[in-house]
Amino acid sequence: MASHRAPVIAVALISAAALAYEILLMRLFSISLWHHFAYMIISLALLGYGASGALLTLVPRAIERHFVPLFCAAAAAFGLTAAGCFLLAQQVPFNPLEILWDPRQPGWLLALYLLLLLPFLCAGACVCLALARFRGMQPRIYSFDILGAGVGSLGVVALLFVLSPQAALKLIGGLGWLAAATAWLECGGRKRWPAALLLAGAGASMLMPAAWLAPAMSPYKELPQTLRIPGARVVLERSSPLGLVSVVESPRIPLRHAPGLSLNATTEPPPQWGVFTDGEGMNALTRFDGRRESLAHLDQISSALPYHLLQRPRVLVLGSGAGADVLQAHYHGASRIDAVELNPQVVELVRGRFGEEAGGVYSRIAQVHVAEARAFLAAGDARYDLIQVALLDGFSASSAGLHALSENYLYTVEALQEALRRLQPGGLLAITRWATLPPRDTLKLFAAAIAALERSGATDSASRLVLVRSWKTATLLVKNGSFDAADIAAIRAFCSARSFDLGYYPGMRPEEANRYNVVERPDLFDGASALLGPGRDAFVRNYKFNVAPATDDRPHFFHFFKWRSLPELLASKGRGGLPLLDWGYPVLAATLVQATLASLLLIGLPMAWVSRRRSHAHEAPRGAGGAGGARGRMLAYFLAIGFGFMFIEIAFIQKFVLFLGHPLYAVAVVLFAFLLFAGIGSRVAARHPPVKAVAWAIAASAALCLLLLPLLLRHAMGWPDAAKIALSAALIAPLAFFMGMPFPLGLARVEAVDARLIPWAWGINGCASVIAAVLATLLAIHLGFTAVVLAALLLYGLAAAARP
């Protein structure tokens, strides 16, 4: 069946479904595995899109002759594979914790990769088919493609507020079938029954039992481990884009969660519920009957130290979770308690369903604020005697290096500066972390505190810091002023009574370290002393782990990996040394190698095939420079804009995580804004503006964004979410508008040279984006997100010089 009308509505629908599926997979992987697999999902999507162009390069005549059935089949295949491939992926026994010592795990990871690539291959094929079939309409088709994708990226986040992830997955699968039916009708199909049949496929997708698609949680997560306790059960679950919140009770063997509880403690916690987000980061929801003495255990953990230095303090708890730190402040007689928690579901559970049994912790004891911690710090001017940063991430994930790729804006130098700004004179900032051996995050946090004090104008940092360690946790105190002799006496008495070890205090002697929970060397004291001494830079450079302070531009606090330590860690495998390896970073590097090889195959093999076929037919593309020159310029151009677009997109997603308060919000809003305005820009590209002028406009717009974003972080962090989203879109709009032009402009030139190479150009762009999605993260870890944006601008300049 010949078609003379481009199925632009169908293209928009399939693009919306594909982007929604990509973001939904991030949510599903957060539940089943860990959330940093988001980078793998992005590369999956782009590799699928790139592979579609490579495959279609091999069958140019089929695109002309069988466009409509091919498009409909690909869209229907997306609808089928979106749910089906995830269902099959659930059966793959992949465990990332074993990837370095179980030789089967890389194979299982590859199987997972290939399974989840298929839906994106089908979606990419639909768009590529339309671009290759309808000559001269590339700007219009491309604009519907990315506009649809933008709507899908924002729509799925809204959808996840009302539907479970598995229900949303069924709906997204149905969109694929709907796109197929729409394409049949748009392209003038004379018979209506094929469209009806395709719509029936959408209905069948919606009828699939949601339980089939429920994400199977890794047995190594904290929630499944807790449920192994006899009688333990999930009593309540709530789902939203911010996470799957599960509340667990254990009537037969009551839960007792008090991280780092002193081995000298004579009291135990009262019965508790365990509150988990995506199966991790257990937080205790304590049954509190109003009797203060029932909370005595909260004075036997390292985070109680600041209350022995302050009298009736005004307290701010950041990341209050289910309220354990609020109860600790209440037990110690705080005069006022403000609690900040990001997830409204957790607040509602503690205040509503469990309100009375929890003793009114969020209704009578504390004033709770549903907000992101940094936004709350930046928005107000109220001063506190104590700012307590809660310990909410799970020990198993932290110790296994599972957070190595994730950004965290609460432990950066700028975050500590914001917290210090909100302290009263003599006030304390207290941060508790898990104690790891050898020390990693504790020393990194200590280094960040020194940098924050120095940036804030302090000249006596050594007199303002205290570090103590229990058998499992470490607590850092930063004072808005100097610790005096009375403070130090109280600190020493606190640690002595609880058998906690002193890590550092002003004037501490080496022999005072490492007395109770004895380790091989007093690494905390030695490290803290070195960081405060003249050899700080040399210590950071030579330490076996990366303990350089995290900043807002390089916010990967949990990145401790150093390549030069790898041989030593691998050699200690037989002695249990592999848990010291933060596996996330080397796996990301391996993913880059894999993505590069796959991209070379997907670009090189089709081009070799096309070249061989042309040499037999004695053909060459029209235009100066002949076949080799035209193809070389085309390769350079589409590689450059593929890398450039993805570098800027990834960098801005990460930069807006801080401003918008949550990674999923940042992904959805930034993608929506980029795709919406890039879609408008691609329509304007039909007027063929000069590529060099577009490149200069991109550079100017990006520079404006980089200049204005720090102002937003300073002055608009406390704005309502709707206002911040609108402001983010307005800031991104000019940059995205111009970034939408180079691709359709390049396709127009390719069509003028040889229209049969349009799928190959699509594949080049997609495969470059695959590599860029991973490479952008690696570059950001080492150089920062600003450097990634600057690299992108250089690439756009290269594209302007290499225009086909």
Which of 251, 190, 224, 179 lies closest to 7 in space, CA to CA? Answer: 179
User: What's the whole-number average pLDDT of the chain?
Assistant: 85
272-277, strands of its sheet edge to edge:
233-240, 243-249, 272-277, 280-286
Residue 30 corresponds to which amino acid?
Answer: S
Quick: pLDDT tens for 355-394: 999 999 999 999 999 888 888 888 878 999 999 998 876 4
Show the domains of the chain with their CATH numbers. 8-215+583-801 (1.20.1250), 222-277 (no CATH), 293-564 (3.40.50.150)
Q: Which two tokens stand for residue 31?
A: 């539940």
The whole-number average pLDDT for the span 252-275 is 89
Whole-number Å distance between alpha carbons of 232 and 227 = 5
Let me know: does 366 contact 350? Beta carbons within 8 Å.
no
Please give the pLDDT value at position 610.
65
Model pTM? 0.85
Amino acid found at 523? D
How high is the pLDDT of residue 713?
74
| Cβ atoms of residues 407 and 447 within 8 Å | no
Q: What pLDDT score was predicted for residue 629?
A: 62
From residue 180, how far is each of 63, 80, 145, 194, 666 by CA, in Å?
A: 16, 12, 15, 10, 30
Q: How confident is the model at residue 396 (pLDDT cuts 50, 70, 90)?
A: very low
In the β-sheet with 336-341, what is the strand arrangement from edge to edge? 367-370, 336-341, 314-318, 384-389, 423-434, 473-479, 465-469, 501-504
Cβ atoms of residues 148 and 14 within 8 Å = yes
Query: What is the pLDDT averaged over residues 17-29?
Result: 89
CA distance 696 to 502: 57
Q: Per residue in 469-522, pLDDT tens? A: 999 999 999 999 999 999 999 999 999 999 999 999 999 999 999 999 988 889
pLDDT at 467: 97
**Residue 337 — φ and ψ, nearest 5°?**
-130, 120
Residue 668 has pLDDT above 70, yes or no: yes
CB atoms closer than 10 angstroms to residue 106: 15
pLDDT above 80 (res 679) = yes
| 559 and 404 Cβ atoms separated by less than 8 Å | yes
Q: What is the pLDDT of residue 182?
A: 92
pLDDT value at residue 588: 76
479, 464 Cβ separation under 8 angstroms: yes
Predicted local confidence at residue 120, as pLDDT: 92
For Cα atoms 35, 41, 46, give the angle at the middle one, nearest 5 degrees.
155
The closest alpha carbon to 258, from 236, 284, 278, 232, belongs to: 284
- Collapsing DSSP states into helix, strand and coil, what is residue 580? helix
What does the pLDDT read at residue 212? 83
Q: Is the pLDDT of residue 644 over 90?
A: yes
Q: Kindly list the distances between the CA atom of residue 508 and the CA atoms of 427, 444, 492, in Å, as whole numbers in the listed order.
A: 21, 20, 10
Alpha-carbon distance of 224 to 219, in angstroms, equals 5
In three-state secondary structure terms, 95 is coil
pLDDT at residue 398 in the model: 39
| Total residue length of the chain | 804
The DSSP bridge partners found for residue 187 are none
**408 vs 794, more confident:** 794
Q: Given pLDDT bands bounded at 50, 70 and 90, which one contains residue 395? A: very low
Q: How far apart are CA 247 and CA 588, in angstroms?
A: 33
- What Å distances lie between residue 617 and 64, 521, 620, CA to CA? 20, 74, 9
- What is the per-residue pLDDT for 640? 92
- For residue 159, give every residue at least 6 positions away whose Cβ sits within 8 Å of its Cβ, in sequence order, or none: 20, 168, 171
